[in-house]
Amino acid sequence: MKPFIAVALMVAASSLAVPVNAQAIGRHEVYAGIGTLGGTLGYGYAMGRHSAIRVEGNYLDYSHSLRSSSETYRGSLKLGTVGAYYDLFFAGPFRFTGGVLLGGNTFSGDVVASSGTITINHQQYSAAGQYAHVAAKFATVSPYLGLGWGHRPQRGGLGFFGDVGVAYGKPNVTLAVSPGLQQAAGSSNVAAEQSSLQHEANKLSLYPVLRVGLDYQF
């Protein structure tokens, strides 16, 4: 009798486990969030009980300043990316996430002239009728690695998620100045100013990704 009971219990446990597994595999998810990548809308698909894939769109446009060793350039940082990720759950809702961000992130700004002068490589020049414009374009392909909570396939229904990670993408900086400023400062000083801006922009190569949001699985 005892062997029969043991077998019956094993069969019952197996019959309970199969629906959970079947429900987890192929589960769909839609989600929305907000963070350092801006606003996010995404879709996820469960590959199994402990893994899932996701795609999403992100957008952010906000005022930002970029400072060289001698001058400040105020402008706008625009982040527009499409993300593709693979989630691997290792402890309940906690997961490792690896993926890639694709997009054309840019910064565009103009020099902030103070006291009627523009400083190029520590040398001051009259700002009357002159300009200095900086543009930075980030890598169109940025690898991403992070840790997260949520998006767990077998959960179902409405839930929360959060992400902490980093994306890598080195920017390329160009500096354009008016002809009068170019002549007054000289090519070597303009090049030195651009190099200083490039050095500061490189600090954004490792971009922190922090995000929270809601998801719904069905």
Structure tokens at 125: 């020049």
What domains sit in the chain, N to C, each tagged with a CATH number?
Answer: 26-217 (2.40.160.170)
Give the C-alpha separation, 163 to 35, whole Å.
Answer: 9
Bridge partners, residue 88, by sequence: 51, 96
What separation in angstroms does the CA of 71 have from each of 18, 21, 100, 157?
A: 64, 59, 34, 52
pLDDT bin (cut points 50, 70, 90) of residue 107 is very high
Chain mean position to CA 165:
9
The 3-class SS string of 1-68 reads: CHHHHHHHHHHHHHHHHHHHHHHHCCCEEEEEEEECCEEEEEEEEEEECCEEEEEEEEEEEEEEEEEC
pLDDT of 60-106, one tens digit each?
999 989 999 889 999 999 999 999 999 999 999 999 999 999 998 99
CB contact set of 47 (below 8 Å; sequence gap of 6+): 25, 53, 153
Bridge partners, residue 110, by sequence: 74, 133
Is pTM beyond 0.85? Reply is no
Q: What is the pLDDT of residue 26?
A: 75
Give the C-alpha separation, 48 to 137, whole Å.
Answer: 38
Scan for tokens 């982040």, then name that residue.
Answer: 79
Give the C-alpha separation, 184 to 166, whole Å.
Answer: 42
